[in-house]
Every structure is written in structure tokens, then in C-alpha cells.
Structure 1
Amino acid sequence: MTSLVAYEDSDQEDDPPNEEGTDQGNAKSDSVAGLSGGAQKQFGLSLSSQNRPLFNPHDRGFEVVQFSDMTASGHFSEFISQPWTQNSTSFERPAIRNSDCAISVKRPQPSMAVVKPYIPKRQRLSQLGGNDVPESPQAATVSPDQGANSKLLMEVSDSVRPYLEMRCSGAELPRRVRLRIQAHQGPVNAIHWCPVPHLSHLLLSASMDGTAKVWDGAGSGRCLRTCSSHSGAVRDACWSQCGRRLLTGSFDHKVHLTDVETGQKVVAVNNQCKVTCLALQPSDPHVFLCGGFSPEVKAWDTRTCKVVRVYQAAIQQTLDILFLAAGKEFVTSSDSVSRDSAERTLIAWDFHTSAKVSNQIFHERYTCPSLALHPQQDLFVAQTNGNYIALFSAQRPYKMNKRKRYEGHKVEGYAVGCQFSADGSVLASGSSSGSLHFYEHQSARALRTLPAHQQACVGVGLHPVLPAVAATCDWSGEVSVWH
């Protein structure tokens, strides 16, 4: 730190300054004027015990004193600087250049480096470029068809509207494929048209990739909603009776009820085992049955998320569930095959009492991976691993029709699905060979066979309103719409 000090013993005004700068030793004996102990001002530093005056020829009578060896006093006294060569009332501040003398600066200097506050990148770009601010990724990826998708999810499609008032006069068979969609990254386990007529253009698919998707199956074929709330493979999915919600069961032991319009999960229950099949109660839309890798079939209430009934059987896995007689009874299909008649493949249950109504329905030693109910008659069919479809009565004692069976396709261990048409005159089935088969219900003869997929065709759905429209899915994740 530097200070300007004047000496009192400079009586001769004509005494020239030492231009050589070598008389610094004579200045050591001079005392600094104006030091008073009474009027002290604290500056945070102590007075030097040794004053070293440095002469500068450009100071014009002022001498720069360098202080060092600070003492512990911690105070400076007030300095009174006077001209060295003349008594002048005007005071000129000397100009000190670092090139003329080495000055040790002790006084804290204001820092030129200013700490600037952080400005976000978006704000900096807006300041530089005005209104040319890039939009956020979310805003940039908003599809212009989002409003159209929401409209299709809740309103009648133009492709279905002309057929809503028409009465079904007979089933027509599709001839060619209209859409082929690589819908999923894994095998598609189930495919269903929405049962509500004015929303029947919506097509539901459930896949092993952990997602369930809703498609505009009767129209453009684009995906309208993706439900990916499960952490495991989605084994089964079905529509609610109102067509506004989806029920999905997964290998992550969870069953989710999802709103179709918003895609939000409404209800989630933990079945404590891998879920393989689901069935909604026809007379109570808040109750559903859930089966899986367990000897139990549980009835859940979506309002309380609690189990209301448990159906216990000596089985290892439930393959499918089918309600009969307006929801009073239902049939379960299991993977249990034994000579003991108490452990048959198909078991009929009373829904309200949880009692077994019959367990001697199917006497052949084949498992039945899927079941389907006739829409108008008291009949149901069971897809068997014997490469045929068996026909049963839907009333007690649930006897099998041994004179009629639907043959020509292959199952070979796949969960191949089957379904009746809206009027019940045609039965459609997939095949492990990838083909699509149509049978006449009354005569059980084959009507048409279509080469649908390269891999196993595991699901088929006939449209409830549109004539000659069907949807199929295969083991590679492909969905096809036929007309």
C-alpha cells in the first residue's frame, strides 16, 4: 500500500530533487510529519516500523514512502502531506507510474472481475434473438392429430355410422387384407373390437412388450392410445361394458383399469401372481374375475380394490374364464390334465356361492387355451390342443357335443383364440400355421381359409357392426385388418 508523505526539514526551496534516486539512506533519518496518537483512524493495517522513502522525479515535490514490517498496532495515523519545494495552497495529485518506481500496493483495490448471475440459455437466446426462441421438445412433438384422436376415442366414426341402424341379415366373410400394422415389439396375446356399437371402430391389442394399444381399426389404422403402465408382459385385456375403460392383466401381478380418453390409470390391484386371464361380470360392471399362475380365481371389486370372492381348485394355472347365464355361473379352463375326474380341464362355478357346479364337462385329455360364448344360443366352444374346437351346452349339466367339432386348423401349444360372429352363424379361429379359418356354426364345415400371417395367428376378432370385417394378430407383433 502506498502513501504520500511530506518532510518538514526541507527549508531550501531551490534544493533540486535527487534525479539519480541514490539518496534514499538520508531519508531514513527523517521522521514522518503529522503523526498524532490522539486522532487515529483504523484502516486494518499497522504502521510500518521502518519507512522507506522512494524518490520519484515525476512526483513534483512529493515523496512516496513504502511501509513494510508491519507492527501489531493495527492502526494508521492521519497523514498531512505538504509540498516539498514550495508553499502552495493548491494541491495537485502526483501521477505515479509503475515504470518509474516499484510500488508495493497494500490498500485493497476494487476487483474488476464482476461475478455475473447465471442466466438460463433460453433467456439468453431470447435476449439475443428476440422472439426466435426454440420451442420446448414437448411443445415441438405435439401431434396435430391429437385432437382428432381424442374425437375418435369418444365419438362415432364415419366408417361405422352408416351401419348402426342396419339389422344384421347374415355374416359375410372377409376376402383380403386392408391394413397390416407392425403394432408391437412382442407377441400380441389378445385382440378385441369395442363391444359398444358407436365405438366399435376401436380395436384393442395386448402384447408381451408390456403395452396395450387402442387403434382406429375401421378407419385410418393409426394408434389412438397406448397404455404402458405395466412393468411386465400384458397377457390379457378386455373392454368395459361402456367402452370407456380398459382392463389389463400382466405378468407383473397387477391388474389395471385405464381410462381410454385420458390414458390415466384409474384402478390398480395386486393379484399376487402372474395374471393370465380376465373376465368382466356381465350383471355388475364393477366386478371382474382374475386368474393366473395360482390354484385360485379371485373376484375383485374396482370400487374398493378388494377381493370379494375366491374360487379354489386343485389346479396350477387358469388359462381362460367365460361367464354364462347372465353372470350367474362361469367356466374356467386350466392346465390340469389327470385321470381323476375331480381335476378335469373345464370346471363350472356358481358365481355367488363359490361352489363347483360341475367338473366333468370335458373328458378328453387336452388343455383348452381359450373359450368363446355363442351370442344367441346357450352354447359355448373351447379351443383344444387336440387341433379342434369342441362344442358344449351352456346349461347344466354342460355336456359336450360329441358329434360336432371344428377341425382343420392347428394349435400346437399356442393360446389360439376363437370367436363367433355377431349373429352366431360363423365361427372364426386362428392357427399356429398363421392362417385364418372360418367355419359354419350349424354344420361345422370349413367356409374359408386365409393366409393371414407368417407366424402363429393367436387372436381373431370379428367386427360386431361392420359386415365382412375381422382383425387378427400374430406371434411377431403384427396386427391385420381384413375386409
Structure 2
Amino acid sequence: MDLLQGYESATSDYAPSPPRLKRKAASSLAHAIKLPTPNAAAYQPKRRAIARAPSSAPKDPEPLPTLLDAGTVPPAAAVSDATVPSRELQRWRASYRINCVRWNPRFPSLLATAGMSSTMHIFDAFRAVCKRQLDGLHTDAIKDVQWVLDGQSLVSASYDRTLVHVDVETMQARATYTGTHRFTALAMHPSDMHLVLAGDDAGHVVCWDLRDRQPARALQQTCGEVHALAFLPDMASPRSRTQFLSTSTVTKTSAADKAVAVWDFDSGALVKQCIYSQGYTCSSISVHPTAPYLALQSHGNYIATVSTRTLKLSKRRYEGHTSQGYGVHCSFNATGSLLASGDVHGHVYVYEAQRPRLLFSARPHTNVCMTVQCHPRYPHVLATGGWDNIVTVWT
């Protein structure tokens, strides 16, 4: 009994200390990082969540900016007092070689461009801002474009054998005509805004009524590819009959007298040929706005003139530029005092119309200056386009 009591007293004197594991747990809890309480959203039924979710429907496209504003005044053209365009006002680069540039007859700041692409562009030319890009209308290069007289739409002629009448405000095609050959030239009727002449590379000339989707009326066949078409002023037509002039490729020497011909618009009959029998192809026509004559851009490196009264070739010609077989354009200005022309070396030439004297020349392009278009309202403004993809505006 005494031994047991001694054992109990001995074991009580040497009681074991608390286990270290508990002290480590206590110390680790003391230094633990407190995480923020998760901010979990309250549960919502699936139907209620779908009903409250924002709509994923596509938004309506923003309306296009206003394009046709007759009150817009070109600032540079309005204040300029120059008599000969000699200063480059704007320059921009397109994505294709330029075949033609056309000023809008009603809205003075708009310029249409087309070329070796299926896309056309409408620019604010005095600010070098693209207003419209017309895609999906053609599948091949565009040779010519012409504004309709009201200035709200234009007609394009393409190598894909189609003519397209497109509304430039909405960028939608109003009508399309498909031919059998590639279209190469256009001319709008001077008084009826719904009629347009079109020539193709097979020598055919057709008249298309923009209101009619039926095949166009065929007028006549020239000797080769049609390069240019132009309506003659009423003073040239006896009994005020509407006549037009066509230029086509000289296919052989014996057919040189048929390269430039005058046709009656109503009947389609040939009025006169043997007008220009020099043996060269004429690529462009520009009718003088007031005087009774017109200009023919010849591949003989000069511009010939023809009287619209007698329909005979005159001795006046404008020389100094080079065409070398390219379809270079020429253009009279609004008053008829100047005649501008392009050049295969990239130059633009401005001649005095009354006397064939060179007034100004410059080289805005590094490749062929294919098209030159004088402004229909401002006599000292012109636009150029070249095969270096450059468009320039001069004042």
C-alpha cells in the first residue's frame, strides 16, 4: 500500500506537458490570413434570369451621313479668283487604277471615281473625304460612269457586260441591264434624264431607258470598239432632231472614215461619216459649252476640232501632249475658255481654247494621266486621275 502511494506521488511530480501539436495549431491560427467573405449573388430561377437579361438582338445600323446637300459650298473653289488651274488643292490614293472621274452636275463638291476594280467611290473632292463606297454592283473593272442629270444617281459601265443604275444616297442598285459584250462608253441624254447611250467593245451602241428592265434598244453598229459617245447641241441638228457622235477603233485602213460618225438618235440612222479620216483612233470627245465645235482626243498625239454646224474637221488642233494609243481624256471648262488633257507620262496640259496655246502643264502622276475632268460650275477647277492610283484636284 505504501509502495502504491509512493508511485502515485512520483507520477504526480513528473506530469507530462501539453502536446506540441496543439501549440503549433494555436500559433498557426493566430497568424492565419482572413479571406474576404464571398459576395455571392442570390439564386435566381433560370426563367427569371433570362427575362431580366439584356436583349442580344442586333442593333439597327446607324443611318448613313447625308450625301446630297446642294447648299454645300466648296470653300476653296468659291473664293479662288484664278483664271487657270495651277495649284494642286487635294490629292489622295485609290486602291485601283483610275479610268474616269466625274463631277456631280448638281452637287458641286462630289466627285465619282472608277477604274480597274469592281468598286466605285464618291468623294468630297475639296476635302479629300470618301463619302460612299459602292461595292457588290459589278464583278469586273469599270470603264465609265456618268451622273444622271438630277445628281442623285449614276450609271456605270463595266467589263462584266452590265450597266448598273445605282442610287448614291442609299447605295442600292435601281436597275441592271446585261448585254452580250463588254461596255466601254456612256453618254446621258441632254434633256431626258432616263435615257443613256452605251457602247461596247464589239461596236454596238444601245439606248437604255433606266425605268425599263427590258433589253435596251439597239441603234447602230460602228466599225470597232466604241471609245466615246457624246450628244451634239441642238444647233447642229436640222429641225432640232437629236443627234449624237461616236468614236470607235480603226480596225483597218479602209474603215478609217467610219471611226467618227454622227447618228440620228430617234431613228438610229447614220447621218454622216468621213468626219475624221486621219487614220487615228479618237479616245475622247468634249463638246464646247457655247461655241459650235467639239474636241476629239486623237491617238496621233494631238486634239482635233470638228465644227458642230458643218460636221467638218477644222484646222485648229492642240499639240504638246502625248497619248500613244492610250484612252486619254480631254475636257472643256465651264466657260469654254480652257481645254485640259491628260498625257501618257503623267502630265496634265491646259490649253487656251480660242487659240491653241499651252497655258499650264504639270506632272501630278507617275504613270499615265488617263482622265481629266473640268468642273461643270467652277471654270478654274479640274480633277485628274491616273494609273498610279492617284486622284488630284487643281484650282
Structure 2 distance, partners of 1:307, 1:213, is: 27
Structure 1 distance, partners of 2:258, 2:218, is: 19
* Shift of residue 162, structure 1, vs aligned partner: 9.0
Partners of 1:153 and 1:224 within 8 A in 2: no
- Match of residue 60 from structure 1: none
* Shift of residue 295, structure 1, vs aligned partner: 2.8
> Which one of 250, 253, 256 corresponds to residue 158 of structure 2?
250
Greater CA deviation, 451-460 or 462-471?
A: 462-471
> Which one of 134, 139, 146 corresponds to residue 227 of structure 1?
134
Whose radius of gyration is greater, 1 or 2? Answer: 1
Structure 2 distance, partners of 1:332, 1:195, is: 22
SS of equivalent to 1:443: coil
- Match of residue 190 from structure 1: 100
- Match of residue 259 from structure 1: 167
Partners of 1:245 and 1:258 within 8 A in 2: yes
Structure 2 distance, partners of 1:319, 1:462, is: 19
* Shift of residue 254, structure 1, vs aligned partner: 0.5
- Match of residue 270 from structure 2: 356
- Match of residue 339 from structure 2: 427
- Match of residue 99 from structure 1: none
> Which one of 110, 130, 138 corresponds to residue 202 of structure 1?
110
Q: Does the C-alpha gap of structure 1 residues 264 and 376 become closer, same or farther in structure 2, counting only changes over 3 Å?
A: same
- Match of residue 214 from structure 1: 122
Question: 1:345 aligned to 2:259?
Answer: yes
* Shift of residue 192, structure 1, vs aligned partner: 1.2
Partners of 2:222 and 2:259 within 8 A in 1: no
> Which one of 379, 395, 401 corresponds to residue 314 of structure 2?
401
Question: 1:386 aligned to 2:300?
Answer: yes
> Which one of 193, 197, 203 corresponds to residue 295 of structure 1?
203
> Which one of 74, 83, 87 corresponds to residue 176 of structure 1?
87
Structure 2 distance, partners of 1:306, 1:171, is: 48
Q: Does the C-alpha gap of structure 1 residues 134 and 158 become closer, same or farther in structure 2, counting only changes over 3 Å?
A: farther
Question: 1:154 aligned to 2:65?
Answer: no
Tell me the alpha carbon deviations over residues 159-207 of structure 1, each in whole angstroms, 9 at most, x when there is no partner. Answer: 26995xx9x9x97222222211112x221111111112xx111011111
Structure 2 distance, partners of 1:214, 1:235, is: 16
- Count of aligned pairs between the two proteins: 342
Structure 2 distance, partners of 1:442, 1:178, is: 26
> Which one of 373, 380, 384 corresponds to residue 287 of structure 2?
373
- Match of residue 319 from structure 1: 227
Question: 1:281 aligned to 2:185?
Answer: no
Q: CA RMSD in A?
A: 2.8
- Match of residue 5 from structure 1: none
Tell me the alpha carbon deviations over residues 435-475 of structure 1, each in whole angstroms, 9 at most, x when there is no partner. Answer: 11000011101001011111111111122333532211001
Structure 1 distance, partners of 2:203, 2:383, is: 33
SS of equivalent to 2:68: helix
Structure 1 distance, partners of 2:57, 2:75, is: 39
Partners of 2:257 and 2:277 within 8 A in 1: no
Greater RCO, 1 or 2 (C-alpha within 8 Å, sep 6+): 2
- Match of residue 50 from structure 1: none
SS of equivalent to 1:153: coil
Q: Does the C-alpha gap of structure 1 residues 341 and 317 become closer, same or farther in structure 2, counting only changes over 3 Å?
A: closer
TM-score (norm 1): 0.66
Partners of 2:201 and 2:225 within 8 A in 1: yes
* Shift of residue 341, structure 1, vs aligned partner: 5.6
Once the two structures are superposed, the pairs formed by residues 460-479 of structure 1 within 5 Å of their partners are 460-479=372-391
- Match of residue 40 from structure 2: none
Q: Does the C-alpha gap of structure 1 residues 249 and 331 become closer, same or farther in structure 2, counting only changes over 3 Å?
A: same
Tell me the alpha carbon deviations over residues 306-333 of structure 1, each in whole angstroms, 9 at most, x when there is no partner. Answer: 3453233352311111110247001111
Task: Give unpaired runs (5+ residues) of structure 2.
Answer: 1-45, 235-240
Structure 1 distance, partners of 2:203, 2:90, is: 40
Q: Does the C-alpha gap of structure 1 residues 276 and 162 become closer, same or farther in structure 2, counting only changes over 3 Å?
A: closer
Q: Does the C-alpha gap of structure 1 residues 445 and 258 become closer, same or farther in structure 2, counting only changes over 3 Å?
A: same
Q: Does the C-alpha gap of structure 1 residues 462 and 342 become closer, same or farther in structure 2, counting only changes over 3 Å?
A: closer
> Which one of 438, 445, 457 corresponds to residue 369 of structure 2?
457
Partners of 1:253 and 1:273 within 8 A in 2: yes
Tell me the alpha carbon deviations over residues 353-406 of structure 1, each in whole angstroms, 9 at most, x when there is no partner. Answer: 11111110001010001111100112111101111000001124x10112x110
SS of equivalent to 1:459: strand
Partners of 2:342 and 2:369 within 8 A in 1: yes
Task: Give unpaired runs (5+ residues) of structure 1.
Answer: 1-117
Greater CA deviation, 316-325 or 237-246?
A: 316-325
Tell me the alpha carbon deviations over residues 237-292 of structure 1, each in whole angstroms, 9 at most, x when there is no partner. Answer: 01010000111010111000111111110010012210100111112211111101
Q: Does the C-alpha gap of structure 1 residues 209 and 472 become closer, same or farther in structure 2, counting only changes over 3 Å?
A: same
* Shift of residue 431, structure 1, vs aligned partner: 0.5
